[in-house]
Amino acid sequence: MNAGKEMDAAVAEYVFNQRSGEVSAYSTDIAAAWKVVDTVVADGYRLQLSGGKTWQARFYKSVAKTLETRAFERSGSTPAEAICLVALEMNGGI
């Protein structure tokens, strides 16, 4: 799935449980993508973001009382796209 209206609608549905109404440009506007980050971080995850030509977004958290780490990672052409892709993966959107 590429950045754009389709991805934005999927983020609204799978990350924010919003099925109708106006949808923000989560996958192309970094300010809107930070709302996605805020939602995921509220569930105890941390964000690791790196890149240049290709961007990597990784949400991770340690599982209580174990050495296990739960992590999800995706790549995108922009930070916003990478953030949205990984958030969709975490929430069953892709």
Please report how many Cα atoms fall inside a 13 Å half-sphere around the Cα of residue 63, on the Cβ side: 6
In CATH, what number is assigned to the domain containing residue 54?
3.30.2120.10
How far apart, in whole angstroms, are the C-alpha atoms of residue 23 and residue 43? 22
Total domain count for the chain? 1
Assign 23 a pLDDT band (cuts: 50, 70, 90). very high
What range does the domain containing 14 cover? 5-90
pLDDT, position 63:
75
How far apart, in whole angstroms, are the C-alpha atoms of residue 33 and residue 25? 8
How far apart, in whole angstroms, are the C-alpha atoms of residue 11 and residue 8? 5
Residues in the chain: 94
Task: Give the three-class secondary structure for 91.
Answer: coil
pLDDT, position 1:
87
**pLDDT > 90? residue 67:** no
Say which residue the tokens 């964000």 belong to. Answer: 47
pTM beyond 0.85: yes
